[in-house]
A and B are shown apart, each in its own frame.
Chain A
């Protein structure tokens, strides 16, 4: 087996805030082969966006941040090299699609310039060639009249169109890894599926590895090879997507799946929710971080933090729970409070 495209080992990202150290990412390891797709799922504040940015090296050691552990991307130690070397990776080896297309395009730059500037920087294209390629990219992401659109300003485009531009921007220099950070959260429901489909088909066509970060398990279902469920800065469970949906082994994964609204649920039935709120990341609890909200938690869970281990399931599947669930999930909802 060749070396994986991305290898993350025991990664910690800690922000120094006036109120103390905040461990946004607290010991995450994962790996990704070329062309593979990984979903990272968790509530807001679970550290998934920070993880994405740390993998890329957008967040790195600085006066207010501490990063330990290692990220190897296409053979390069992202946090061990100089800023300039890291910048060479951005756009060409790894690229990112951001959450809100309303804010991730510069309002005073024309759409075309967003694409051509990186083409000219990384590929050394001439002005004309970059422009041609930019129009081609816009066509590729399904923007009608790409030549005209390239001359417009971002505010003249709809949200869905802008997100397509952001995707085109990320694809401009053929990255091997695309990190899509909640790419559909800010979009209308009707557009969400189009964008996800676009990302999926582009990834397949270009043989590009993808990390799809989302707070919504439903988004990654059927679109990724594997899923890592994050909770409070740590990976709670990581396995093949089908396995997680079929037999979630971590109570948190189970709760997440149960809270996906389903077409079969009866009208006016209450949606399952997860009681409580995520722990304070300035002072995370000892033991399992989900213990306070876990319906199965026992005393041991509150004192001893479970390690992320295979715990007897299929290869490539790990879970951080002392008492992993074993039964396949019944895709039926109890009626709450009826």
Chain B
């Protein structure tokens, strides 16, 4: 069941670990609020200090990070440097962002957005970027298998057992993961949204039939449904996207239906009906715009659920088949004893998967908080 239906509005969009050290030192905002009493000087000075301090911290943090990643040190020292660097950079960046963009600035959110943009960009451009071989095993016969990640080398994130480049594989994995998840979400949202809108508008028997069908689809746990479909369908991109779309439909139907019903008797709809608008016009012009935002925000959260589902399927050997890379089947390569000796086999695609899911979750949560009207309960 999608977690999207469960998130609480109260839960702050969180992930604010890097906020912690920053607190206390914020500019006295009360001064800015006090009418007339506040002159420019006392407000501006702490702000300039904050900017400088934030920038300084961020620079030092990033420097430590780079040193930690590149310097030839013991793993423990590297890890410590990277961690401290990340913390400092986070604290500094957060401080800087708030000083420049106001107290509502959420560094994690912007980092998540940046990651998604970067990932989508690199995934789109992958064929023209100078990546090492990601799929053709024959061409890497002479490459060394299981090279360790070394940012300065030809294989910055290492290679797998066939000498295929892990960075390239992760990027190509992103291509299929994102393509599958996005097309599944689009299909599911369009179909589910339309069905929900119809059910919510016509109610009565249409609603009842749709309700029973939705419940039937929900009666099989999502992953089991996927496995069952994978048994009979060929593991191709299109088929997997279709199966995943099937998963999203019930929640979409429910949300669209509930939202439509909440609006169907509002004054503006009644007014449109009284003016002689046709059903189609009412649904498209009056109801759809109101149903759209909640649906879209659910769709964003859904993306991360589908990415996980696709990865799980691949991990179980039921998705895209190797050597074509997906994050799931890359992680599956680490099963058994391989990843004891070569943790990068699991950690590299794992990190890509985690960061992407995290980013979509964060963006989705924000979107829901902003767009999903609370009056609509599922």
Q: Which residues of A contact B (CB under 8 A)?
A: 18-21, 282-283
Contacts and interface: CB of A to CB of B under 8 A. Distances in A.
Given A18-B103, A20-B29, A283-B37, 15 more contacts: A18-B29, A19-B29, A19-B30, A19-B33, A20-B28, A20-B30, A20-B33, A20-B34, A21-B30, A282-B30, A282-B33, A283-B30, A283-B33, A283-B34, A283-B35
Contacts of A282: 30, 33
A107 to B, nearest CB: 19
B36 to A, nearest CB: 10
Nearest to A283: B34
Interface in B11-40: 28-30, 33-35, 37
Contacts of A21: 30
17 contacts: A18-B29, A18-B103, A19-B30, A19-B33, A20-B28, A20-B29, A20-B30, A20-B33, A20-B34, A21-B30, A282-B30, A282-B33, A283-B30, A283-B33, A283-B34, A283-B35, A283-B37
The B interface is mostly helix, strand or loop, or mixed, namely loop
A19 to B, nearest CB: 6
Contacts, number: 18
A149 B28 CA distance: 54
Question: How many interface residues does chain B have, given as a range?
Answer: under 10
Nearest to B31: A20
Residue from the set A18, A19, A283 with the largest chain B CB neighbour count within 10 Å: A283
A108 B28 CA distance: 44
Contacts of A19: 29-30, 33
A19 B26 CA distance: 12
Nearest to B28: A20
Closest 4 CB pairs of A and B: A20-B30, A283-B34, A20-B33, A19-B33
B55 to A, nearest CB: 24
Nearest to A286: B37
In this complex, which of B29, B30, B34, B103 has the most chain A Cβ atoms within 10 angstroms of its Cβ? Answer: B30
B59 to A, nearest CB: 29
Interface string B149-185: 0000000000000000000000000000000000000
A20 B30 CA distance: 4
Contacts of A283: 30, 33-35, 37
Contacts of A20: 28-30, 33-34
A310 B29 CA distance: 39
A20 B35 CA distance: 13
Interface in B31-57: 33-35, 37
A5 B103 CA distance: 47
Interface in B85-131: 103
A263 B23 CA distance: 57
A18 B33 CA distance: 11
- Which of A19, A20, A282 has the most chain B CB atoms inside 10 A of its CB? A20
Contacts of B34: 20, 283
A21 B29 CA distance: 10
A296 to B, nearest CB: 25
A20 B29 CA distance: 7
Nearest to A285: B35
A194 B79 CA distance: 71
Nearest to B26: A18
A18 B98 CA distance: 14
B38 to A, nearest CB: 10
Contacts of A18: 29, 103
A213 B191 CA distance: 58
A21 B33 CA distance: 11
B62 to A, nearest CB: 30
B106 to A, nearest CB: 15
A18 B34 CA distance: 13
A277 to B, nearest CB: 15
A18 B29 CA distance: 8
A16 to B, nearest CB: 10
A282 B32 CA distance: 12
Contacts of B30: 19-21, 282-283
A293 B210 CA distance: 61
A18 B35 CA distance: 17
A283 B37 CA distance: 10
B360 to A, nearest CB: 29
Nearest to B30: A20
B276 to A, nearest CB: 45
A137 B28 CA distance: 52
A28 B35 CA distance: 26
A19 B35 CA distance: 13
